[in-house]
């Protein structure tokens, strides 16, 4: 008897074959599935904004999914992520007999490996063209050093990208040194003075989860240059990885 596939955390996923009815609780993976197997995707969170014409049942948010709505969709697989989704919700779904595949991604290589395994072992598919291209783009050595950067993800209080994050690893591979890549907190709270300081070369202000705009964010900085950037390119693994390399490398 063939052994069951296991997710990124080593948990067995009771699949009888390739998943045909999938609920995705991970926006970046939703984008991938909607691109490659739209007929299999039956549910997604309210935060799953790509593609813009996604027409599936919404199951509330990543942190507060509607478990009853998920069960009603009778999925043979729910895709979750260790960082984005709560362990409690995963446990409750599994207790109800729902197969859940949890991804765990803190680096670009982990994203590539995780998505390759998901497609192969859970979907029964070869790597799609965007994933093959992402492997090609991100397989080389890090770019030449470009400077020190900070990436706020929230304001009042200011929270920034810290160590052991996909965003931090992505920036490192593009030549940027994360000024807050130390300590134990992956998204530490900092004072504005720790961001607006002379030894930083750039502060990147993404549009998610906090929506920094031209009128909300840049005006707080008087010493360091800022740049508005797509949060999707900084944090989404999936088809966005190709666009992220092509755009952020410039």
pLDDT by residue (tens digit) across 199-236?
Answer: 999 999 999 999 999 999 999 999 999 999 999 999 99
Q: Is the pLDDT of residue 2 over 70?
A: no
Can you give the residue ranges of every domain in the chain?
Answer: 22-137, 147-248
Cα(73)–Cα(42) distance, rounded to whole angstroms? 7
- Domain spanning 22-137, CATH class: alpha beta
pLDDT band at 249 (very low <50, low <70, confident <90, very high): confident
Q: Is the pLDDT of residue 1 over 90?
A: no
pLDDT digits (tens, 9 = 90+) for 32-51: 999 999 999 999 999 999 99
Average pLDDT over residues 126-130: 97
Q: 22-137 and 147-248 share one CATH topology?
A: yes
SS3 160: strand
- Domain spanning 147-248, CATH class: alpha beta
Of residues 53, 52, 46, 8, the one with CA closest to residue 27: 46
Q: Quick count: other Cβ atoms within 10 Å of Cβ 175? A: 15
Of residues 159, 218, 216, the one with CA closest to residue 191: 159
Average pLDDT over residues 60-64: 96
Q: Quick count: other Cβ atoms within 10 Å of Cβ 104? A: 13
In the prediction, which pLDDT does 13 show? 97
In the prediction, which pLDDT does 38 show? 97
Q: Is the pLDDT of residue 247 over 90?
A: yes
Q: Is the pLDDT of residue 144 over 70?
A: yes
């Amino acid at each position: 008897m063939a052994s069951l596939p296991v997710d990124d955390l080593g948990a067995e996923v009771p699949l009888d074959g390739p998943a045909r009815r999938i609920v995705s609780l991970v926006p970046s993976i939703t984008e991938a599935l909607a691109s490659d197997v739209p007929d299999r995707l039956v549910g997604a969170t309210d935060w799953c904004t790509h593609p813009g014409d996604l027409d599936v049942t919404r199951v509330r948010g990543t942190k507060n999914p509607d478990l009853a709505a998920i069960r009603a969709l009778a999925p043979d697989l729910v895709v979750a992520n260790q960082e984005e989704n709560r362990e409690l919700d995963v446990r409750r779904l599994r207790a109800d007999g729902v197969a859940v595949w949890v991804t765990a991604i803190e680096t670009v290589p982990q994203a590539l490996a995780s998505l390759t395994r998901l497609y192969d072992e859970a979907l029964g598919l070869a790597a799609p063209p965007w994933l093959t291209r992402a492997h090609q783009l991100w397989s080389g050595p890090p770019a030449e050093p470009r400077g020190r950067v900070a990436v706020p993800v929230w304001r009042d209080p200011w929270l920034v990208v810290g160590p052991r994050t996909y965003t931090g690893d992505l920036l490192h591979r593009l030549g940027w040194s994360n000024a807050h890549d130390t300590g134990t907190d992956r998204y530490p709270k900092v004072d504005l003075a720790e961001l607006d300081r002379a030894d930083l070369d750039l502060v990147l202000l993404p549009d998610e989860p906090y929506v920094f705009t031209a009128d909300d964010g840049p005006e707080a900085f008087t010493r360091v240059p800022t740049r508005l950037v797509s949060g999707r390119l900084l944090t989404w693994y999936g088809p966005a990885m190709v666009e992220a390399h092509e755009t952020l490398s410039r």
